[in-house]
Amino acid sequence: MHMSEPAGDILVFLAKEEEIEKACHEIKREIDNYNNNNDNNRQAQAQDVVGPGHANVLPLYSPDTMLMHHQNDPERKRKIVLSTHTAAEYLLTMIDDEIVYVLDTGFAKRRVYDPWLGHDAILAVPTTQASADWRTRCAGRTRPGKCFRLYPERSFHIAFLPHTKPEILESTDLVNTVLTLKKLGIEDLLRFDFMDRPNPETLIRALERLNHLGALDDHGNLTKVGESMSESTAIIDWLHLLALAP
């Protein structure tokens, strides 16, 4: 894309920060390799496309990485921005003036329950149809652009859900959520007015597990062990061990 398309910044959607850092490293290495061949640069410029040496590769996954996007660039090199979906949603208005091309990998970062680990984990999962459509609209917000989707149309209709489910409905491990609500003084969780109500069996299983760990007494009240565990959001089994440590 960088070698064949006319001038315009590129926005690449990746799922995780580690993927972004790795991709930035690989792209920068390729650009450095091309820069060692001046013939390639002259040929690209003669064809009215951006030369391989004329690009700034920038990560975007937190407010801290936004500082890189405000650095003065007198040569006005093409920006290749590698971003998570969440970061782009919050920060796109600050970088979208010259975004002409979008590369969508079709994945996003979600907190889901991992049965092998026995707790929630951050995993790369297929994005939703609504998110994919939003990514497409990021291309050429101020002028005509292009979006390249790295997945077949069949996957869009079969593998992608229409919209993102509330996180509380996707997680089958609500132990940390229950612990937080108990700390806030919520007594009857089964009648609590959740915006998106989880499965009652999931709530009961979380209450039973906290009781087994000693975080709740037999009446469902928070114990001293539970108060110590509620001060962190780490994996619940680790919190239990830390709370019992002398």
Residues 13 and 127 in one domain: yes
Locus of tokens 């108060």: 227
Answering whether pTM is above 0.75, one says no
Residues 19 and 130 in one domain: yes
- Which of 164, 190, 205 terminates a domain? The answer is 164
Residues 131 and 54 in one domain: yes
Measured from the Cβ of residue 207, the count of other Cβ atoms closer than 10 Å reads 19
Locus of tokens 């108990």: 182
Is 228 within the bounds of a domain? yes
Torsion of CA 60, 61, 65, 70, to 10 degrees: 40
Q: Please give the share of the chain, as a percent, with pLDDT higher than 90.
A: 26
Instruction: State the burial class of residue 2 (Cβ atoms within 10 Å of its Cβ: 0-12, 13-18, 19+).
Output: buried
Residues 106 and 228 in one domain: no
Residues 222 and 116 in one domain: no
140-153 pLDDT, tens digit per residue, is: 888 889 999 999 99
| Domain extent for 209 | 168-244
47-82 pLDDT, tens digit per residue, is: 444 555 678 898 988 766 665 655 666 667 888 999
